[in-house]
Amino acid sequence: MPAAIALFAFGAVTALLSLLLHLGTLRAPDSGFFPLVLGVMLMALAALHGVQLYLAKAPAAPAAEGSARQVVLFVGAVALATALFDTLGYTLVSFLLMLGLLQVLGVRKWYVSGGIALVSAAAAQVVFVHWLKIPLPEGLLSF
């Protein structure tokens, strides 16, 4: 149950922080639209998981110390990325976030996680900015 509560809180913080960005409309979403949708979806899924645990009435298995550390680092990395989003820009933040999350999840070879982070940031830039024409903060880098 604590994991469901933590994920619900994380979704709520994500949704609230996304309201600081421009939302746009359904036809023309802006930079805050997708984080808002993802935050609300995370809250809904966490609530469903909490209800499922409550109805099962079986005590949840205690989280291993390593996985609790991973959750804290994961949430911290996403929170830091959210705070730096406007300053550093979408592309650089998405690269750094992916790099950090891969390290948290155990990808220890920097060239592997760096390559994955670079490809995912470039793909996101192409899909969201160039293909879908969604205006995202440019920050330090402007493409």
* Backbone angle region of 89, left / alpha / beta, with phi > 0 → left and psi within -120 to 50 → alpha: left
Q: Which amino acid is at 50?
A: G
Contacts of 132 (CB under 8 A, 6+ apart): none
46-53 long-range contacts (CB < 8 A, ≥24 apart) are 46/4, 46/5, 46/7, 46/8, 46/11, 47/4, 47/8, 49/3, 49/4, 49/7, 50/1, 50/4, 50/5, 50/8, 53/1, 53/4
Rounded-to-integer distance, Cα 123 and Cα 126, Å: 5
Q: Where do the structural domains in the chain lie, given as residue ranges?
A: 1-62, 64-143
pLDDT score at 131: 85
What's the CA dihedral at 124, 129, 135, 138 to 10 degrees? Answer: 70
Sign of CA dihedral 70, 103, 84, 118: negative
42-64 tens-digit pLDDT: 899 888 888 888 888 755 555 55
Q: Can you tell me the mean pLDDT for 131-141?
A: 79
Q: Can you tell me the mean pLDDT for 8-25?
A: 88
